[in-house]
Chain A
Amino acid sequence: MSGDAASDRVDRGLGLDTAASPPTRPAIPGLDAGAVSLSLISHTNAGKTTLARTLLGRDVGEVRDAPHVTAEATPFPLVQTSVGDLLTLWDTPGFGDSVRLARRLRQNRNPIGWFTSQVWDRYQDRALWLSQLAVRNVAEQADVVLYLVNSAEAPADAGYLAPELEVLEHVGKPVLVLLNQTGPPRDRAAEEADAARWRAALGPSTNVRDVLAFDAFARCWVQEFTLFAAIEPLVPDASAPAFARLSAAWRELRMGEFDASMAALAGPIARAAADRVALPAEPITNRVTGSLGLPNAARAKARAEATDEMAARLQADLRAGMERLIAIHRLEGRAADEVLERVADGVHLDAPLDGTRTAALGGVVSGALTGLGADLMAGGLTFGAGMVAGAIIGALGGAGIAQGVNVVRGRTESSLRWEEAFLDGLVTSALLRYLAVAHYGRGRGAWREGEYPSHWRPIVVDAVVASQEKLAAIWARRGDGSELIQRSLEGLLRELALGLLDELYPGALQPAAVRAR
């Protein structure tokens, strides 16, 4: 499979962060290899550890909806370059009683010396002690501070904001504010309004350089490029070349994941396109009556069996593809049964259709519902196969002729294959699934299929409809085997997905150099 090379790159990236060791000067001698440290800091329970998990793609620290869960500053290597540059992410305890912390700082102009002397607080006042730890980490380790805020709260209600900014001002490191806890992906206007609100609230603070929406739960990897681009001007000049290399390495890692994802999505669709089942040969009399359009019980049964066979294959393939997608994105969990619902669900949206097709797809939808009912009655044991089969049977019943599957008449035998509108539907639902997985932060826990944000569906459908001709060209060559289809389908999916991501996050995908920053 062509995705293997890409996934190898991914695995190399994954291998890097298996151990949490403090950043040292890289062992590999590079020309001017450097280390850059980012410190995640925020008020307590704003989601620092969740964000660290999302960026690292593994379950570090402890995540719980409570204050003061993280009790020590921990370094995690985030990415490494071949010349030995190392980017480290520090997860710190949250600010607790920052008002008192700020007041004490005002009284004492030498924070570091003062912090180390405050052993008493460790036992007497945990919140204050943890705050001190966090600040000490930032003061000693950070090149750039990533300050998370709970954007579900109004800036005015975040009473801790002013004292915490005051503390950060004392420390004097450049600060990048990340809006966390924004909830499921929203449309750009809402995100922008949030960012503007916080930008206005943070305006007076001199060391806050930028405000980005970057949710630990629902960020998309392309937003990480924006994050890196925002960090780039903030790193000390000495580390700038190293950071540029790290940034490129990160981009390469994520783009590798993207390519692997496209391969994982294209595979099942390509195999479905090439799939066909031979129908049993019929006596001549049946063929005559069949051509007259008369109903025939034996033929209907043969077709239903063939359809079931194909549906089961597609089902297993889609499931495997989905699990691969989840693994590529370093999420936990398995493809849920409801993944297949999306298949039937996506079909009816895929194109402006002529009359026959509409009828057929109406049948797909109603049949899918019937199939779902069968699934539920079987206690989910059929793993959604009933759904797909139902969709197809519905299509057969809905239009009265084989529209979900086509009958191809050869010279000696007939065979059954997926109808093209159905394949279009698979493309739509694959893209929707991809967006869902790409937005699913590891910090959120095991992968779980949820509702898609309402603004995704129309743009995905529009994109697929716009590529109708290209799709048709691909389906036209389905007789040539799945390898060929997969290659061209991968290309088209990549094009479509990049277009969608660019529409959702304009400019994020452009190389940093091109960006008008």
Chain B
Amino acid sequence: MDESAALETTAARAVETADRDRVLWSDSDREWASRAAAAIVGERASADEFLSRRAQLVLERIGTRQPAVTRTVRGIRWRPWVGVVTVVAAFLFGLLIDRIGGGSSINLLAPPVFALVAWNLLVYVWLLVRPLVLGRGAAGPVRSLLIRVASVRASGDSNRADASTAARRTVLAALPRDWARVAAPLYTARAARVLHLAAAATALGVITGLYLRGLAFEYRASWESTFLGAEQVQALLAVTFAPGSWITGIMVPDVAAIEAIRAPASENAAIWMHLMAGTVAVVVIIPRVVLTLVAGVVERRRARKVALPLDEPYYRRLVAAWVGEPARVRVIPYSYTLTPAVRAGLEAVLARAFGNVAPTIDAPVAWGDDVEQSQVTDAAGRGFADGGEIRLPLFSLTATPEEDAHGVFLTALSGGGGAAGRGAAASGTSVALVDESGFLARWGDDAKRRDERRAAWRELLEAHSSVPVFVDLAAPDLVAAEAELAAAASAHDAGVANEGRGRA
């Protein structure tokens, strides 16, 4: 997916996930976008095509209602002029550096060129060691600053705090964040390209400045020192101007010549200026241009193929619905027979949290022993084998969490804790639902008691690396339940990711 499509897709995602209350973008809008996009791209299209077309439709439609969203999307795009301005400014800066020194004599031991060369050498060293220090792909402070400048967005928010304003704010806040995450590698390469070119431009500016002033005035070359003699100065200059000498074919003058221009004596600086220009070209301009080209190639490749996190429930849900195969969510109640009201509540929660799911609500797994557990494991194992299924164990808060029963069940569900178990955990099965309806019916006003029981469940579930989501299924708060499920899933994902990093 190219950059523009990826941005639009991310924007559509921000709209659809951040607007939890369906204030700006209703369920029917969502369905319409999916239907229309499917009709346009046809059956043969790839998931990327479908998603990007759908995103366009989403943005077109919401753009007419909420111009702020379109503005933000536009504002968040890369602004090429930022790159141009940076490079031009760098060149002008280079031109001026020389003038800041003032005068019409070149101190051979302290020309601005030396600083430029030293700085660039330092940068090359940094580029070599940076992957070891920062890790791959991370942007350094300069790049981050540039990225921030380039994607600065106009804030057009009013102060009214009605529901749609609040929803819009959430969307507008979510979008740059999401996009920054998705586009980070691309923007890093892009910033690198601009900054390399800017460095080359600065060097060019310095040399141009020297020569331009050399046309109108006569530069005199000289040196003076408290500590150094002519030999040391000659050696120093020979090393420093070696690249310039190599490219221009001009030899660095010998010790006698150096001794001859010791201050207050001096000579015409033309030869020294050529040496400096050559050195800067070899050390700064040429490598920087090469680096620019490399970064440009990387940038172009990344811009053509932005990697969206298509494993996220949001994308999985959309693609699955488009393929005609709804996201599969399987609820496995443990020793808990669902009343019709609870079942309806559960379906509402799932529909809200997972979109157009086809939830399977299993027959309750009986409170039981190893024999029955192994049957569960088999069934669960089969369901898990073809992947893509979200499995949610469901417990009732009225039950006391017991390691011998519920714990064994959780272990069985995650595949016995072996390699398969880790796989199951990684696929996000480790969010567990705990229904509070029965408990609330008995102890509605006893918050202390409920908290105790919740804590007991949390403890057991966490011991099995699961995250509980407590929900009153008889009267579910859909918004809260959706948010909690999402939070639990991401908390869990983060946990898995950290664990993976730790292992790596």
The residues of A with any CB-CB pair to B shorter than 8 Å are 43-45, 65-67, 96-97, 99-100, 103, 127, 150, 152-154, 156-160, 181-184, 450-451
User: What residues of chain A lie closer than 8 Å to B441, measured between beta carbons?
Assistant: 152, 183
From A45, A127, A157, give the contact of B336 (CB < 8 A): A157
The 0/1 profile, CB within 8 Å of A marked 1, for residues 445-460 of chain B is 1000100110010000
With A66-B456, A152-B442 already in contact, 6 other A-B pairs whose C-beta atoms are closer than 8 Å: A157-B399, A159-B405, A181-B398, A182-B442, A183-B444, A450-B445
A473 to B480, CA, bound (A): 58
From the candidates A65, A96, A182, A450, name the one contacting B404 in the complex (CB within 8 A): A96
Interface residue stretch chosen among B69-77, B141-149, B362-370: B362-370
Known A-B contacts A96-B402, A157-B399; A65 and B456 likewise in contact (beta carbons under 8 Å): yes
**Cross-interface CB contact of B369 among A45, A103, A158, cutoff 8 Å:** A103
Bound-complex Cα distance A184 to B444 (A): 9
Interface residues of B in 244-289 (CB under 8 A from A): none
Residues of A with C-beta under 8 A to B439: 152
Chain B stretch 382-415: residues in CB contact (< 8 A) with chain A: 396, 398-405
Q: When the two chains form the complex, which single residue of B336, B366, B396, B443 contacts A183, counting CB atoms closer than 8 Å?
A: B443
A451 to B442, CA, bound (A): 14
Interface size range on B against A: 20 to 34
Q: Is B26 an interface residue (CB 8 A)?
A: no
Residues of A within 8 A of B404 (CB): 96-97, 127
Nearest residue (CB) in A for B438 is A152
Q: Are A153 and B438 in contact (CB under 8 A)?
A: yes
Q: Given the known A-B contacts A127-B404, A159-B368, are A65 and B453 also in contact in the complex, defined by CB atoms under 8 Å?
A: yes
B442–A153 CB distance below 8 A: no
B4 located at the interface, meaning its Cβ lies under 8 Å from any Cβ of chain A in the complex: no
B337 within 8 A of A: yes
Of the residues A96, A99, A127, A152, contact of B398 by C-beta under 8 Å:
A152
A99 CA to B336 CA in the complex, in Å?
17
**Interface contact A153-B399, CB-CB below 8 Å:** yes
A127 contacts across to B, CB distance below 8 A: 402-404
How far does the alpha carbon of A66 sit from the alpha carbon of B369 in the complex, in Å? 20
30 pairs across A/B with beta carbons < 8 Å? A43-B400, A44-B402, A65-B400, A65-B449, A65-B452, A66-B456, A67-B403, A97-B404, A99-B367, A127-B402, A127-B403, A127-B404, A150-B398, A152-B398, A152-B438, A152-B442, A153-B398, A153-B399, A154-B337, A156-B337, A157-B336, A157-B337, A157-B367, A157-B396, A157-B399, A158-B335, A159-B405, A183-B442, A183-B444, A184-B445
Query: A464: shortest Cβ distance to chain B, in Å?
Result: 26
Query: Is the CB–CB distance between B400 and A45 below 8 Å?
Result: yes
| Residues in A neighbouring B445, C-beta threshold 8 A | 184, 450-451
What's the nearest-Cβ distance from chain A to residue B414, in Å?
Answer: 20
B367 cross-chain contacts in A, Cβ below 8 A: 99, 157-160
Chain B residue at minimal CB-CB distance from A161: B367
Given the interface pairs A157-B364, A160-B367, the reply to whether A66 lies near B400 with Cβ below 8 Å is: yes
Q: Which residue of A lies closest to B399 (CB)?
A: A153
**Contact yes or no, A67 B336, CB < 8 A:** no
Provide the residues of chain A in CB contact with B444, threshold 8 Å. Answer: 183
Please state if A44 and B400 are interface contacts (CB–CB under 8 Å).
yes
| Contact residues, B279-338 vs A (CB, 8 A) | 335-337
Q: Is the CB of A67 within 8 A of B400?
A: yes
Separation of A156 and B370 alpha carbons in the complex (Å) = 19
Contact residues in B for A450 (Cβ distance below 8 Å): 445
Which chain B residue shows the least CB distance to A64?
B452
* Chain B CB within 10 A, most for which of A66, A182, A184: A66
Q: Which of B335, B398, B401 contacts A67 (CB 8 A)?
A: B401
B408 to chain A, nearest CB (A): 9
A residues less than 8 Å from B368 (CB atoms): 99, 159
For residues 443 through 497 of chain B, which have their beta carbon under 8 Å from a beta carbon of chain A? 443-445, 449, 452-453, 456
- B407 CB, nearest partner CB in chain A, Å: 10
**Closest CB of chain A to B99's CB: distance in Å?**
74
What CA separation (Å) do A97 and B444 show in the bound complex?
A: 30
Give the CA-CA distance A30 to B439 in the complex, in Å.
Answer: 49
Chain B residue numbers with a CB within 8 Å of A183 are 441-444
Closest 4 A/B residue pairs (Cβ): A159-B367, A183-B442, A45-B400, A99-B369
Contacts of B402 in A (CB 8 A): 44, 67, 96, 127
CA distance A152 to B337 in the complex (A): 13
Do B369 and A157 touch (CB < 8 A)?
no
List the B residue with the shortest CB-CB distance to A65.
B452
Chain A residue contacts of B438, Cβ below 8 A: 152-153
Question: In the complex, which residue of chain A has the Cβ closest to the Cβ of B367?
Answer: A159
Residues from chain A with a CB closer than 8 A to the CB of B366 are 159
Fill in one digit per residue for B331-367: 1 if any A CB lies within 8 Å of its CB, else 0. 0000111000000000000000000000000001011
CB-based nearest B residue for A43: B400
Q: In angstroms, how far is the closest chain A Cβ from the Cβ of B38?
A: 42
Write the chain B residue with the least CB distance to A186. Answer: B442
Query: CB-CB < 8 A to B452: which residues of A?
Result: 65
Rounded to whole Å, the gap between the CB of B474 and the closest CB of chain A is: 13
Select from chain A the residue with minimum beta-carbon distance to B445.
A451
| A182: chain B residues within 8 A (beta carbon) | 442
Residues of B within 8 A of A160 (CB): 367, 405
Chain B residues near A154 (CB-CB < 8 A): 337
Q: Chain A residues near B398: list those with CB within 8 A.
A: 150, 152-153, 181
CB distance from B401 to the nearest CB of A (A): 7
Residues of A within 8 A of B442 (CB): 152, 181-183
- Contact between chains at A97 and B456 (CB < 8 Å): no
Q: How far is the CB of A429 from chain B (nearest CB, A)?
A: 20
Expressed in whole angstroms, the Cα–Cα distance for A154 and B442 within the complex equals 13
Which chain A residue has the least Cβ–Cβ distance from B400?
A45
Tell me how far the C-beta of B333 lies from the nearest C-beta in chain A, rounded to whole angstroms.
9
Distance of A127 Cα from B453 Cα, bound (Å): 20
Closest to A451 in B: B445
Q: Which of B40-70 contact A (CB under 8 A)?
A: none
State in angstroms the CA–CA spacing of A424 and B401 once bound together: 49
Q: How far is the CA of A156 from the CA of B366 in the complex (A)?
A: 9
The answer to whether B369 and A100 touch across the interface, beta carbons within 8 angstroms, is yes
Bound Cα distance from A159 to B366, whole angstroms: 6
**A183 vs B439: C-alpha distance when bound (angstroms):** 9
Report the Cα distance A45→B400, complex, angstroms. 7
A157 and B435 CA atoms in complex are apart in Å by 13
Question: In the complex the two chains form, what is the Cα distance from A451 to B444 in whole Å?
Answer: 11
CB-CB < 8 A to B401: which residues of A? 67
Complex Cα spacing A136 to B120, Å: 84
CA of A156 to CA of B403, assembled, Å = 20
A451 to B447, CA, bound (A): 13
- In the complex, what's the smallest C-beta–C-beta distance from B248 to chain A, in angstroms? 84
Q: How far is the CB of A456 from chain B (nearest CB, A)?
A: 15
Write out, one digit per residue, whether chain B residues 416-447 have a CB within 8 A of any chain A CB (1) or not (0).
00000000000000000000001101111100
